[in-house]
């Protein structure tokens, strides 16, 4: 058996190293725990005892996503602790738009070979994200795949499972003309648009990761800013007000994501210039050889989450979220209309 394992390691898959690295996981995962979790880390499956409190008709909500080519930036800087938190926040936000509370999270990591330092950084970030969101990290898979991945390349995917009471699902059905669109600020690119961003910044502009951006900003730091977790703000608003619809502004930007929550016969009219644009987005916009609409389809352009509320609730929502009034719902055909500043 020892010879066979050594042969496998020579082929690129070190099982012994994997076991050694994962041995410390139970201690690391202690802070990303919930009382419903049963069993120990490392089993064939994670155990979660369903307990939904006072919910009358609990509905499970699941989503899966990755962090895209932001991984390339992490690899160039050899900093991977933020990527894990990015992944958790992205996934939690995706189910939060339906009104769901996160329960547990699972991850999948694949690379040419296992790098202990990188592995621990990624796990640390995921644990930090799960702790902030109040969900448990109950399992995952770490795959060594020589011949598929090369060098510093790796992939990272996460699955989130949450729950919402059926009567409290946020589905957008009651959105109507006159409702107000509130935009919550993003921390940066979040986890989308990095392929175009890298093309513009590195190939077209010849930027280095230590280049200055705005007043005192550094490009590498700006590109690795953690994807904002919007769950606390959503919870805060829902405690006092009714949110008619929520859209997480990820791949597809404002253009493709807002229509996912709109009913038929209405449009989302977005007034450009109603929220601040960071120096990084200004740099990308000035160098990108694309139309304004595509910019708002590839990048979030400073808005990471959109809440749609009644006009009477807009002022209080703005106060609770520190967001921006970026538009309104009008009659239409279920699309986003960008209005230029001053028009």
Distance CA 269, CA 257 (A): 13
- Supply φ then ψ for residue 265, to 5 degrees: 70, 20
Radius of gyration, alpha carbons of the chain = 22
Which residues fall within 8 angstroms of residue 33, CB to CB, at 6 or more apart?
136
Domain ranges of the chain: 10-165, 180-339
Q: What is the reported pTM? A: 0.93
Q: Is 197 within 8 Å of 284 (Cβ atoms)? A: yes
260: tokens are: 């996912």
Which numeric CATH code is attached to 10-165? 3.30.1330.10
Q: Distance between alpha carbon 321 and the CA centroid of its chain, in Å? A: 18
For the stretch 76-90, pLDDT in tens is: 999 999 999 999 999
Reported as a single tens digit per residue, the pLDDT across 166-219 is 999 999 999 999 999 999 999 999 999 999 999 999 999 999 999 999 888 999
Residue labelled with tokens 């899966």? 64
Q: Could you tell me what percent of the chain has a pLDDT over 90?
A: 79
What is the CATH architecture assignment of 180-339?
Alpha-Beta Complex (3.90)
């Amino acid at each position: 058996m020892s010879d066979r394992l050594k042969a496998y390691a020579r082929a690129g898959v070190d099982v012994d190293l994997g076991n050694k690295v994962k041995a410390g996981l139970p201690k690391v995962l202690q802070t990303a725990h919930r009382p419903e979790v049963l069993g120990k880390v490392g089993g064939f499956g994670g155990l979660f005892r369903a307990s939904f409190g006072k919910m009358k008709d609990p509905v499970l909500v699941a989503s899966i996503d990755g962090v895209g080519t932001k991984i390339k930036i992490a690899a160039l800087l050899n900093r991977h602790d933020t990527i894990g938190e990015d992944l958790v926040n992205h996934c939690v936000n995706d189910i939060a738009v339906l009104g769901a509370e996160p329960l547990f999270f699972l991850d999948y990591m694949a690379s040419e070979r296992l790098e202990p330092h990188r592995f621990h950084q990624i796990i640390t970030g995921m644990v930090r994200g799960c702790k902030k969101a109040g969900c448990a990290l109950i399992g995952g898979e770490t795959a060594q795949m020589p011949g598929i991945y090369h060098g510093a390349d790796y992939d990272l995917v996460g699955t989130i499972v949450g729950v919402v009471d059926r009567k409290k699902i946020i589905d957008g059905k009651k959105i109507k003309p006159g409702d107000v669109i509130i935009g919550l600020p993003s921390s940066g690119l979040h986890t989308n648009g990095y392929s175009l961003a890298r093309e513009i910044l590195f190939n077209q502009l010849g930027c280095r990761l230590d280049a200055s951006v705005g007043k005192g900003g550094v490009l590498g730091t700006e590109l690795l800013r953690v994807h904002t977790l919007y769950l606390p703000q959503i919870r805060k608003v829902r405690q006092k007000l009714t949110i008619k619809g929520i859209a997480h502004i990820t791949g597809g930007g404002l253009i493709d994501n807002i229509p996912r929550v709109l009913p038929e016969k209405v449009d989302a009219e977005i007034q450009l210039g109603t929220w601040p644009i960071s120096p990084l987005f200004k740099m990308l916009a000035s160098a990108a050889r694309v139309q304004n609409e595509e910019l708002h389809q590839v990048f979030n352009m400073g808005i990471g989450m959109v809440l749609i509320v009644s006009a009477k609730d807009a002022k209080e929502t703005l106060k609770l979220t520190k967001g921006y009034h970026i538009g309104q719902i009008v009659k239409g055909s279920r699309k986003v209309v960008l209005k230029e500043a001053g028009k």
